[in-house]
Amino acid sequence: MKIPFSPPYIDETVINEVVDSLRSGWITSGPKVKALELEIKTFSGANEVLCVNSWTSGAIMMLRWLGVTTEDEVIVPAYTYSATALAVLHAGAKPVMVDSGADFNISVEAIRKAITPRTKAIIPVDIAGFPCDYDRIMALVTEPEIQRSFQATSTIQEKLGRILVMNDAAHSLGAYYSKNQRTGCETDVAIFSLHAVKNVTTAEGGAICLNLPEPFDNEELYNELRMTSLNCQTKDAFSKSKAGGWRYDITGFGMKINMADVNAAIGLAQIREYPKLLQERKRVFNTYSEAFSQCEWAVTPPSVQGERETSYHIYALRIKGFTEEQRDRMIDEIAKSEVAVNVHFIPMPMLSFFKSMGYDIQNYPQAYENFKCEISLPIYPQLDREKLNFIIETVKAAYIVASGYN
C-alpha cells in the first residue's frame, strides 16, 4: 500500500473555485484575495489579515517595517525550519537562536536569558501546530525591567516601546490558544503559511495577521503593507485595469510579494470547508495517539494542554531512547513498505549554512534531543481506517527492527 506523506486536499469545490477565477479573466491580486483575507480574519479573530506570496516574504516585510538593522537581534528557536532565521537575515538583522522545551516549542526561559538591549523582536514557532506559551511570552516583553532596557532604533520601535512578538504560525492555522480563541490574534503579528503541505493551502502563500496595540491603527497598517507588498505602488493592477485608471505613483521602497487570485481561489474553497477538514485531521491524530500510547517506547506529541489545542498539522512521534542512527534505520524500514514519513525538523545549527556562521548544536541540547528520535507520520483527511492501520503496523514493525540496530 503506497501512502504519500502530505498530498494537498483538492476536491470539486477547490477545482470549481479555481476555474471560476480562470474564467473571470482576472488571475492576479483581486477579489478572491480579498475574500480569502476576510475568511482568515473571521476564522482567526485577527484585527486585519494581508495575504502575500509566502510566509518568508511576509516575515521579511514585517521585520523591515519594524526597521531592524545589522546591529539588531531577533530571537528565534534553534528547532524550526530555516525560513524563520533566513527571514531575519534577509531583513538585515542577526538571528539569536535559543533552545526548545520538551513540547518542541521555544523555551520561554531561554528567551529571557537571550534578551539584550539590541533585541527588537521574538519569533516563537508553533511547531507541528501546537501553540507556544504566549501568555508568558507577552508578559515577558512587557516586564518593566525588560521594557526599560529596550533601545529603539526606528520610529516604529519607538512607537511600540518594547520588543515585538511575531508568531511564526506557519503550522497553526486552526489551533486554539485559549478557549474559543484561535491562533492569529494572540501576538502583535502572526503569520500563517499557506504552502502546498499546510492544512489550508494556496499552493504557495502566506497570511499576515495584524494585532498591533494602540497607538497603532491596524486597518491603516493593512493598507500601508498592502501597498508595500506591491512595490509601494499607489494602485494595484485591478484598479489600474479600469478605464482611465492607468496613472499611479511609487511612494517608497517596497517588495513584490502579493498573492494572486488564482492561488487565493484554492485557499478560499479550503477554508470554507476547514472546520470539517480539521476534524478529519484530529481523527487521524487521535487514532495514532490511541495506538502508540500503548507502546512503552513511543512518546506521543502534545494535542491538548489546558486551553491550548493543536491544529493537528504534523504528528511528531518520538521514539524513547533512540539515537539518531536508530531513528534513521527505522525510517528506512518504514520506507520499504512505501509509507512516506518525514522529520520535523533538522535543527538549524546542524545545517551547513548556519554552522558556517558559528551556530553549534551542542548549545541547544533539547533541540537535538527532540530531533534525534522524531518521526513525522502522514496526517491528512484522506487517510481512512485501513490506511491508518497499515501505517501503525508498519511503524511498530520498523521499531522492532531498528531497536536492535547497533
Which residue carries 538593522 as its cell?
A: 69
The angle subtended at Cα 164 by Cα 161 and Cα 168, nearest 5°, is 170
- The span from the CA of 94 to the CA of 73, in Å, is 5
Q: What is the pLDDT of residue 246?
A: 79
Average pLDDT over residues 172-180: 93
- Mean predicted confidence (pLDDT) in 136-143: 98
Q: What is the 3-state secondary structure (H, E, C) of 8-39?
A: CCCCHHHHHHHHHHHHHCCCCCCHHHHHHHHH
Q: Give this prediction's pTM.
A: 0.96
Q: Span 198-213, mean pLDDT?
A: 98
pLDDT at site 236: 76
Distances 88 to 52, 64, 128 between C-alpha atoms, Å: 17, 9, 21
Q: Which of 32, 41, 120, 198 is catalytic?
A: 198
Q: How far apart are CA 387 and CA 395, in angstroms?
A: 12
Question: In the prediction, which pLDDT does 241 show?
Answer: 67
Cell numbers placing 370: 527532540
Concerning whether 198 is annotated as a catalytic residue, the answer is: yes
Distance of CA 309 to the CA centre of its chain: 15
Average pLDDT for the chain? 96
The predicted pLDDT at position 406 comes to 46
Supply the pLDDT for residue 405.
55
Q: What is the mean pLDDT of residues 68-76?
A: 97
**Residue range 63-81: mean pLDDT, rounded:** 98
What secondary structure, in 3-state letters, does the chain show?
CCECCCCCCCCHHHHHHHHHHHHHCCCCCCHHHHHHHHHHHHHHCCCEEEEECCHHHHHHHHHHHHCCCCCCEEEEECCCCCHHHHHHHHHCCEEEEECECCCCCECHHHHHHHCCCCEEEECCECHHHCCCCHHHHHHHHCCHHHHHHCCCCCHHHHHHCCCEEEEECCCCCCCEEECCEECCCCCCEEEEECCCCCCCCCCCCEEEEECCCCCCCHHHHHHHHHHHCECCECCCHHHHCCCCCCCCCECCCCCECECCHHHHHHHHHHHHCHHHHHHHHHHHHHHHHHHHCCCCCEECCCCEECCEECCCCCEEEEECCCCHHHHHHHHHHHHCCCECCECCCCCHHHCHHHHHCCCCHHHCHHHHHHHHCEEEECCCCCCCHHHHHHHHHHHHHHHHHHCCCC
Backbone angles phi, psi at 113, to 5 degrees: -70, -25
**Averaged pLDDT, 79-103:** 98
Q: To which residue does cell 480539521 refer? A: 278
pLDDT tens per residue, range 237-296: 767 666 666 788 999 999 999 999 999 999 999 999 999 999 999 999 999 999 999 999
- Centre a 10 Å sphere on the Cβ of residue 384 and count the other Cβ atoms it contains: 10
Q: Which residues of 135-153 are buried (b: 16+ CB within 10 A; e: fewer)?
A: eebeebbeeeebeeebeee
Q: What is the pLDDT of residues 325-344, one digit of tens each?
A: 999 999 999 999 999 999 99
| Cα-based distances in Å from 30 to 35, 51, 260 | 9, 11, 7
The single-letter code of the amino acid at 155 is: T
Q: Alpha-carbon dihedral of residues 39, 44, 50, 51, nearest 10 degrees? A: -70
If pLDDT is split at 50, 70 and 90, which confidence band does 315 have? very high
Q: Which grid coordinates belong to 235?
A: 494602485
- Rounded Cα distance between 256 and 232, Å, is 9
Model pLDDT for residues 335-385, shown as the tens digit of each residue: 999 999 999 999 999 999 999 999 999 999 999 999 999 999 999 999 999
Per mean pLDDT, which range of 37-41, 98-102, 177-181, 259-263 is the poorest? 177-181
293: left (phi over 0), alpha (psi -120 to 50) or beta: alpha
Evaluate whether 382 touches 7 at the Cβ level (below 8 Å).
Answer: yes
Q: What are the pLDDT digits (tens) for 20-59?
A: 999 998 899 999 999 999 999 999 999 999 999 999 999 9
Band (pLDDT 50/70/90 cuts) for residue 223 is very high
Dihedral pair phi/psi, residue 126, rounded to 5°: -80, 80
